[in-house]
Amino acid sequence: MTLVFAPHIPEPWHRDICEAPHVRRWLDNATRAFDLGRVTIRDAVRFGERIGFVFLEAEAALDGQSIPRFAFLRGDSVAILVVLHQKDSPSQVLLTCEPRLPVAKAAHLSLPAGMIDDGTVQSAALRELSEETGIELTPSADDLRYLTEITLSPGGCDERLTLYALDLSLPPEESARLENRHTGLAAEHEHITLKLLPLDAIPALSEPDAKLLLAYHLYKASQTG
């Protein structure tokens, strides 16, 4: 396998790209799975000091047959279905609402979620929960209920998503304070508004986020199983 870089990519970036965890993992997996020849890093994007999105072209074959050449690497992600329980009231789910440029939507409802940069999947989930919701409780990894791990768009992207559920019992006044709370990291240009929705209203959403809908059905199945 030969790794080369497009001329416009700064040379100081080359080592950082090669050492980025999601790039290393893809190269290791692709080398084991395919006859891998020349791999060209066509473009890359930094998020602060971290290498983020990477677009590459690869000469790859399986059993002597060439396979599609392009891949968009962004790394793995995690999302949490946060279910709020109150006595004598229907369960609610805590969602994030934020602008999403790739789907050209100014207000996209989804789960608290983020990329797995370092550490474990569980630690990434708890970090994103804190950053995106501002919930003052400090749940542990043991409080997370594993739902599934899936690939989202294997025809073009490397991303694998791990889904968790988290059940929380909050006083009504504390739950009410979450509605329309503004959160997110300014340094990452996040503009998040929290929304509360009855749990069983999720299937009726117009164009629901895929991970939200899947998490809902897996959560409900786990309750009746």
10 Å Cβ neighbour count for 156? 12
Owner of token pair 């009231």: 89
Task: Check the CA dihedral 3-21-73-9 and report its sign.
Answer: negative
pLDDT of residue 15: 97
Cα(164)–Cα(145) distance, integer angstroms:
5
Candidates 57, 58, 46, 39; CA nearest to 17 is: 46
pLDDT of residue 71: 98
**Could you tell me the pTM of the whole model?**
0.89
**Segments in the chain below pLDDT 50:** none
pLDDT of residue 5: 98
169 Cβ contact partners less than 8 Å away, ≥ 6 residues apart = 84, 85, 86
125-145 residue pLDDT tens: 888 888 888 776 677 888 899
User: What are the residue ranges of helices labelled H in the chain?
Assistant: 11-19, 21-33, 121-133, 172-178, 210-224
Question: What single-letter amino acid sits at 158?
Answer: D
170-190 residue pLDDT tens: 888 888 888 888 876 656 656
Candidates 126, 133, 89; CA nearest to 110 is: 133
Mean pLDDT (the chain) is 91
Q: Which two tokens stand for residue 144?
A: 């997370």
